[in-house]
Amino acid sequence: MDNRTNRKRIVIIGATSGIGKETALLFARKGWRVGIAGRREERLRELQEAMPEAFVARPLDVTREDAPGQLAALIRELGGMDVFLLSAGIGTQNPALLPEPELNTARTNVDGFIRMVTAAFHYFKEQGGGHLAVISSIAGTKGLGVAPAYSATKRFQNTYIEALAQLAHLQRLPIRFTDIRPGFADTDLLKNKHYPMTMPAVRVARKLVKAIEKRKRVTVIDCRYRILVGLWKCIPRWLWERLPVK
């Protein structure tokens, strides 16, 4: 018997580095078949060559209109999809409020997010069920003055997944949703920047995998950030807008 037919299958978009890459490796070591996608083809190839029995790879850019077609091709090559995880995202500090960084962030975190999440939703609708997970951020809790587009797009992602969960319920679709909200992680996103309580990407990935396996609806990683988010939510708007948050 070919054991591949009995293995769970996950597709991870944004698996070329950071949390996405570490998550892909963890699922592969657990015996899953893993479809990996991202813009950097050479990094995808390195992962696939390291564990050819576990990985199926395909270059994909969420900002391109052909991305849903590339996702469909990857799912076919993988033999189906039980879990979809969107890890692709960008962000930058932009206190000067230059328009191009803001627009680039929106192209990936809003346009690209919608493009890939709706494609996964329709796949699971046709299949008759599945698990749709995304990596957003605690930055969506409050508007951050040093990173307006990043915090706004992460709030958008939180709300969009909430809306899809309601839509699936209204349409009686057995689709589960997980919104993963990490704190600061040591990834390319924070390269050359210093933040308190920064976590190694592999630590975030371990907790992320557990959240998906337990089918949690929303999870904040980790306990320190759960406390921080709780405190942020208690701060009234008038006070928050006067705080020197950097």
The torsion region of residue 193 among left (phi > 0), alpha (psi -120 to 50) and beta comes to beta
* Distances 204 to 43, 97, 219 between C-alpha atoms, Å: 20, 30, 11
Which among 3, 67, 14, 61 has a CA at the least distance from the CA of 36? Answer: 14
Is residue 150 among the annotated active site residues? yes
In this structure, the number of other CB atoms found within 10 A of the CB of residue 110 comes to 16
Run of H or E including 220: strand 218-221
In this structure, the number of other CB atoms found within 10 A of the CB of residue 225 comes to 20
Tell whether the torsion through CA atoms of 147, 151, 157 and 160 is positive or negative. Answer: negative
Beta strand pairing call for 83-86 and 55-59? unpaired
The active-site residue out of 150, 160, 195, 225 is: 150
Count how many Cα atoms sit within 13 Å of the Cα of residue 231 in the half-sphere of its side chain: 6
Active site residues: 150
